Amino acid sequence: MATLEMPHVTECSVSACSYNHDGCHAFAINVSGDNGTADCATFIPLSTKGGLDVVSPQVGACQRADCSHNADLECTAAAVRIGAGEGSDTANCLTYAKA
């Protein structure tokens, strides 16, 4: 899969993330987790804003082999949404669907 074909992050509603200021400004996010949900491993809870000024964020890697959108650890979803998870999960891939 070429870089240009990676799924884009179409939404991030996690306001406490350093990369989220009027949308996600990370070049790419990684999805991980082993607690039954898919965590955004790029989440950084700092008051300093980071990332690029102009960017169309995409999924860099997906470590959730049990997701129906995962093929060889690459995300095959058309796009992903990031938001608050259940309980103490701060940032989850809301597009995650258990295979």
**pLDDT (tens digit per residue) in 37-88:** 899 999 999 888 999 998 899 999 999 999 999 999 999 999 999 999 876 6
Q: What whole-number distance in Å separates Cα of residue 25 and Cα of residue 51?
A: 5
Residue 5 — very low, low, confident or very high, per pLDDT cuts 50/70/90?
Answer: confident
**Verdict on whether the full-model pTM lies above 0.75:** yes
Asked if residue 31 lies in contact with residue 93, where contact means CB atoms within 8 angstroms, the answer is yes
CA atoms within 13 A on the CB side of 66: 8
Element (H, E) at 29: strand 28-32
Give me the residue label for tokens 């990369």.
Answer: 19
Query: Mind listing the pLDDT tens digit for each residue in 78-99?
Result: 999 999 987 667 899 999 999 9
If you count DSSP H runs as helices and E runs as strands, how many of each does the chain have, helices first?
0, 8
